[in-house]
Amino acid sequence: MRAGMKANGWQLQASNLNDPAVGESVGNVMGIVDVFPARKGGFLRGGLGYASYTNNRPEGSNGSGLGWEAGAGYEFPIGSQFRLAPIIEYSAGSFGDAYQPVAPVTGRRYSVIEFKLALVYRFGGS
């Protein structure tokens, strides 16, 4: 078993330093646990943490809430301490409701499937 923390996100609209009313993104910070059911390199991943939504447009609203993820991967050794790990994950979460004067926005959520390639360094023994 392995435990850790990760921070990542997705940019839906690029921000612009010259125009502060532009930009939209989703980010999260999660605690994750990888479980290795067999001595080979396959693992299952689960995570839970903080999810945030940022919308810089004048009519936009920010939000935050709970996010989670589930996934699986496999570590291929590429030396005594390094592993290359393709991973597939499903992440989802909610951002709460936004009460704006014109029209409230409710049920804001996100979900995404990610395909990743990680380089893992193992401290200690092989």
Mean pLDDT (whole number) for 18-25: 82
Residues 82-126 have pLDDT tens digits of 999 999 999 999 887 766 666 666 778 889 999 999 998 888 765
Is there a contact between 62 and 53 (Cβ–Cβ < 8 Å)? yes
Q: Is residue 126 part of a domain?
A: no
Q: Is residue 109 part of a domain?
A: yes
Determine the Cα–Cα distance for residues 11 and 69; give it in Å rounded to an integer. Answer: 18
Contacts of 25 (CB under 8 A, 6+ apart): 9, 10, 11, 12, 13, 15, 53, 54
Domain extent at residue 42? 2-121
Question: pTM for the whole thing?
Answer: 0.78
Mean pLDDT of the chain: 87
Per-residue model confidence (pLDDT) at position 99: 65
Per-residue model confidence (pLDDT) at position 118: 93
Total domains in the fold of the chain: 1
Strands 82-98 and 76-77: antiparallel
